Amino acid sequence: MRQIVRWGVVIAALLVLIGLSLSGMLASLDRRLGDWRLSLVPTQPSGTTVVVEIDSKSLAEVGVWPWPRTMHASLLDRLMEAGVEDVAFDIDFSSASDDWADAQFTAALERAGGYAYLAAFGQDDGAGGTSFTRPLPQFAEQADPVLVNVLLDPTNARVHSLPMSATDAFGEVPSLALELARPEFPVPPVVEIDFSIDLSRLARLSYTDVLYGRIDPAFLAGKQVIVGAGAIELRDFFNTPLHGILSGPIVQATAVETLKAGRILSNWGHLPGLLLTSFGALILLLTRRSSIAFTGLALLVSAPLTEALALFAYAKLDLIVHSASMHVGLLLLFGLALADDGYSQLLGRRAALRRLRFLATHDAPTGLYSRQGLLDRPSSTHPQMVIALQPQGTDELRATLGHDVVERLLVQFAHRLEHAGFPSLARIAPSTFALAGDDNGDADHLSKKAVYITRELSGIYHVDEHRLYVEIIAGYAAGPFDLPELINQAETALVQARANRTNVHGFSPADHAAMERHRRLDRDLRGAIAGGQLRLLYQPQIALRTRKLVGAETLMRWDHPELGLISPAEFIPLAEETGLIIDLGRWILEEACLEASRWPDSMVVAVNVSPIQFQHSDLVAVVTEALRRSGLPPERLELEITESSRVTDPRLVSTTMWSLQRLGVRLSVDDFGTGYSSLIYFRDLPFDTVKIDQSFVRDRSSPDAEALLAAIIELARRMRKHTVAEGIEDEATAALLERQGCTYGQGYYFSRPVPVEQLLQMLELETKTPARA
Ligand code: C2E
Ligand code: MG
Ligand code: MG
């Protein structure tokens, strides 16, 4: 559409330009440019044409007017005597004067023997033909008539050309120029006068100087003479290019010189200018928007270029070109380009404004509402509900695969959400989304809906070449609250879901307190290491057959000065979320290794390692350093790794594990059987030990549960891996596991997690009591 308008405007501009050119409104500019061009390439006259002027001096000398024709007779005689070639009178002899004088002149003409010519003026007879003001018949019998008409440019009333002949009822009359110059080449019916001829070099004589013999006849010999009125008072004047006002005979002499020089000029008028402008317009229309400065420069350069071309055309190609239309055309085009540019900028500003408005209420990458956009929606009078959704593991992904991959993942997630057809979707935080809608008061329905969404949207996402398993968790809230409050509640519920390691959590007022506590712990954890509030407990691990102490698992405790003892189950996920687990993990490894280096050589220390540590720190270097500092042999360190959904880059975990194995460190799967990963994962990684999760150990309610336990132990045995049963709380369980072939046991039955001093006491005690056979 825009393009059509552009074409329309340019065509209109070209039409205006044509109108300007044809109406003569550009004439003044053309006149100046044309004159300037003529002045640059002056042409020398032939020197064979002489103008004898009835000038003011002659008029003064003679004293009367009109002159008796006897004077013309004498002049003619004198010229013929001097041996001139031709004499053409640009004087009106169409009416009779006194008979005697006319007879004298007739005689002189006769004496001239056909080398004298008399002016004839053609004019419209008003009936479509031409009538001539011819010389009197008695003169015409002796001297041929020559046409002295010139043609004026209608736009500026300046002489520019003359017809080479004209015909009336009495026959054809050739022009004075044609008669005197007698060109040997074909001449067009109308000839452009070449006003570049240097008229200062044209020989001009005073009538009376010639008449009274004051001119050397030798000068006149062989010349062609034009006699005519040169004095202002005689009013035989024309406006001409470059030279301004010229008398009739001078104009005729210039025409004669034009033909003598053999210069037939073609007048192309405005055509080249219009064509060039059209061409420029075409370029402007077809090129995609270039800078206005460039367009300006191009147009600026084309102005002198046009003039140079016009000059070249005139000097070398004998072409007369009116360049004003080109210049005006260029200006017009520049104006249009400016307007076009201005319009584009206006459109650009409008688009930017629209985008700004969009961005104020939307999230650009996903196109969903922003938090503010969701709040700004026209509010519903119904009670509202909000479900907050969060893909898990995005922080780890951001660290391992980069921001762009995560952004694309989130955009994909947003699109899936949209496809599911939920209205009023928003991205309320970098990786938190929300959907809002009317609440029908059915809490069960809302919970089912949240569960449905997390199930539908959890799964594999393909981003670039990555195949990512993403788990979605949800927090929801509903009730007689305004939208901002509901959004806050849903977010609180989301945090709670994450802390509880559940997928969906509905907001309850207790969550606020939990949230507060969560925030508090989050804030205080960093200072806890430095403040010495963290300490390590050790829970003994027993060889089930001999019931001897073979090692201990390091378990962290936080003595919060105000909140009391805080479980690692609560603060470890927090440390994982904030990344503090990296520093914390390093500290535990160093402490545990140092402690264990003082134990008997048979004792292994087990340390829990979070999956985050695998992905964000150089775990191999950290472990190597801890071993080096403590002097603990690597085979006495066992790292416990839980199977986790938070593993976003299994390849990295795998390489690290193999490096640790090469180091000689032992590896165990913690909480085996509850995790997310497949048995293939388990098979392909270099684990030495399987820690059977407490839930399998403690729940022996059915024969099936026992069978499952037995199967896990058998599986590990076949894979040549040790088994550690966690959570043994009584002898019966210990005995059962022993029977089933489980290697080691750990649990309250043997000992709760204890400070290191207590562990050492137990060791001491053990060395004093004999082991079971
Ligand atoms: P886990 O590694 O599976 O540790 C075993 C948990 O079971 C410990 O809880 C321990 O106190 C408890 N437990 C041991 N025997 C019994 C029993 O007979 N009955 C019952 N009911 N529980 C028993 P704790 O110390 O609260 O630790 C919880 C979890 O916190 C650990 O589970 C581990 O995943 C994590 N954790 C603890 N310390 C650290 C640490 O230093 N680093 C890391 N990354 N995680 C740690
Ligand atoms: Mg453990
Ligand atoms: Mg465990």
Domain with residue 673: its CATH number is 3.20.20.450
Q: H helices of 83-230, where? A: 99-112, 137-140, 176-181, 207-211, 217-220
Q: Domain for residue 352, yes or no?
A: no
Q: H helices of 402-555, where? A: 403-419, 443-457, 483-499, 509-530
Residue to mutate (ligand 1; options 607, 647, 726; most atoms within 8 A of CB): 726
Q: Are 750 and 542 in contact (CB under 8 A)?
A: yes
Domain range for 470 is: 369-507
Q: Domain for residue 764, yes or no?
A: no
Ligand 1 atom with minimal separation from the 693 CA: 3
Of the listed ligands, the closest to the CA of 639 is: 2
Q: H helices of 541-580, where? A: 568-578
CATH number for the domain spanning 494: value is 3.30.70.270
Atom 7 in ligand 1: residue holding the nearest Cα: 727
632 in the same domain as 556: yes
Of the listed ligands, the closest to the CA of 693 is: 3
Q: Between the CA atoms of 312, 313, 316 and 318, what dihedral angle is there, to the nearest 10 degrees?
A: -150
* pLDDT tens figures, 712-759: 999 999 999 999 999 999 999 999 999 999 999 999 999 999 999 999
Distance 569 CA to ligand 1 centre (A): 7
Question: Is the CB of 75 within 6 Å of ligand 1?
Answer: no
448 in the same domain as 311: no
Q: How far apart are CA 710 and CA 407, in angstroms?
A: 46
Q: Domain for residue 701, yes or no?
A: yes
Distance 273 CA to ligand 3 centre (A): 92
| Per-residue model confidence (pLDDT) at position 743 | 96
Question: Is the CB of 748 within 6 Å of ligand 1?
Answer: yes
3-class DSSP state of 711: helix
Q: How far apart are CA 708 and CA 696, in angstroms?
A: 8
Question: Is the CB of 123 within 6 Å of ligand 1?
Answer: no
563 in the same domain as 444: no
Question: Is the CB of 753 within 6 Å of ligand 1?
Answer: yes
**Which among 645, 726, 723, 650 has a CA at the least distance from the CA of 687?**
723
Q: Domain for residue 124, yes or no?
A: yes
Token pair belonging to 491: 């977010």
444 in the same domain as 558: no
Q: Domain for residue 457, yes or no?
A: yes
Distance 400 CA to ligand 3 centre (A): 27
Domain boundary pick from 213, 233, 262: 262
* pLDDT tens figures, 147-178: 999 998 887 788 989 999 988 777 889 999 99
| Per-residue model confidence (pLDDT) at position 649 | 66
Atom 23 in ligand 1: residue holding the nearest Cα: 727
158 sits in which H/E element: strand 158-163
Question: Is the CB of 555 within 6 Å of ligand 1?
Answer: yes
- Report the domain count for the chain: 4
* pLDDT tens figures, 39-97: 888 889 999 999 999 999 999 999 888 899 999 999 999 999 999 999 999 999 999 99
Give the angle 6-10-15 at the CA atoms, nearest 5°: 150
Atom 12 in ligand 1: residue holding the nearest Cα: 727
Q: Are 413 and 406 in contact (CB under 8 A)?
A: no
Lowest mean pLDDT among 31-45, 285-299, 593-607: 285-299
Question: Is the CB of 435 within 6 Å of ligand 1?
Answer: no
Distance 693 CA to ligand 3 centre (A): 6
Ligand 1 atom with minimal separation from the 640 CA: 2
| Per-residue model confidence (pLDDT) at position 771 | 56
3-class DSSP state of 475: strand
Question: Is the CB of 541 within 6 Å of ligand 1?
Answer: no
Q: Domain for residue 614, yes or no?
A: yes
Q: Domain for residue 769, yes or no?
A: no
Please give the average per-residue pLDDT across 469-484, as a whole number. Answer: 92
Of the listed ligands, the closest to the CA of 580 is: 1
| Per-residue model confidence (pLDDT) at position 188 | 92
Of the listed ligands, the closest to the CA of 539 is: 1
Atom 46 in ligand 1: residue holding the nearest Cα: 608
Question: Is the CB of 610 within 6 Å of ligand 1?
Answer: yes
Residue to mutate (ligand 1; options 535, 542, 555; most atoms within 8 A of CB): 555
Question: Is the CB of 729 within 6 Å of ligand 1?
Answer: yes
Which residue type sits at 68? Answer: P
Distance 336 CA to ligand 2 centre (A): 78
Atom 45 in ligand 1: residue holding the nearest Cα: 608
Atom 25 in ligand 1: residue holding the nearest Cα: 555
Total-model pTM: 0.53
Question: Is the CB of 568 within 6 Å of ligand 1?
Answer: yes
Ligand 1 atom with minimal separation from the 576 CA: 44
77 in the same domain as 196: yes
Token pair belonging to 356: 């700004």
Q: How far apart are CA 628 and CA 516, in angstroms?
A: 41
| Per-residue model confidence (pLDDT) at position 20 | 86
Lowest mean pLDDT among 14-23, 66-75, 560-569, 671-680: 671-680
Token pair belonging to 310: 């016009």
Ligand 1 atom with minimal separation from the 749 CA: 18
Of the listed ligands, the closest to the CA of 571 is: 1
Ligand 1 atom with minimal separation from the 746 CA: 15
Distance 568 CA to ligand 1 centre (A): 7
For strands 237-240 and 86-90, give the pairing: unpaired
Q: Look up tokens 């590990």; give the residue.
A: 716
Give the rounded distance of the alpha carbon of 329 from its chain centre. 30
200 in the same domain as 83: yes
Q: How far apart are CA 546 and CA 744, in angstroms?
A: 10
210 in the same domain as 95: yes
| Per-residue model confidence (pLDDT) at position 30 | 82
Residues lining ion ligand 3 (Cβ < 5 A) are 670-671, 726
**Which among 616, 609, 687 has a CA at the least distance from the CA of 649?**
616
Domain boundary pick from 457, 481, 507: 507
CA distances from 755 to 488, 528, 687 (A): 42, 18, 28
Lowest mean pLDDT among 18-22, 71-75, 181-185, 758-762: 18-22
Of the listed ligands, the closest to the CA of 729 is: 1
Position 335 pLDDT exceeds 80: yes
Other CB atoms closer than 10 Å to residue 133's CB: what's the count?
Answer: 14
* pLDDT tens figures, 357-385: 999 899 999 999 999 998 888 766 777 89
Position 773 pLDDT exceeds 60: no
Please give the average per-residue pLDDT across 106-125, as a whole number. Answer: 90
* pLDDT tens figures, 249-259: 999 999 999 99
271 in the same domain as 252: no
**Which among 448, 458, 455 has a CA at the least distance from the CA of 506?**
448
Distance 468 CA to ligand 1 centre (A): 29
231 in the same domain as 207: yes
Which residue type sits at 763? Answer: L
Atom 17 in ligand 1: residue holding the nearest Cα: 727
Q: How far apart are CA 131 and CA 121, in angstroms?
A: 8
Distance 608 CA to ligand 2 centre (A): 5
Ligand 1 atom with minimal separation from the 610 CA: 44
77 in the same domain as 33: no
494 in the same domain as 470: yes
Paired residues of 390 in beta bridges: 473
Q: Domain for residue 496, yes or no?
A: yes
Question: Is the CB of 606 within 6 Å of ligand 1?
Answer: no
Domain boundary pick from 262, 293, 325: 262
295 in the same domain as 411: no
Question: Is the CB of 506 within 6 Å of ligand 1?
Answer: no
Which residue type sits at 62? Answer: V
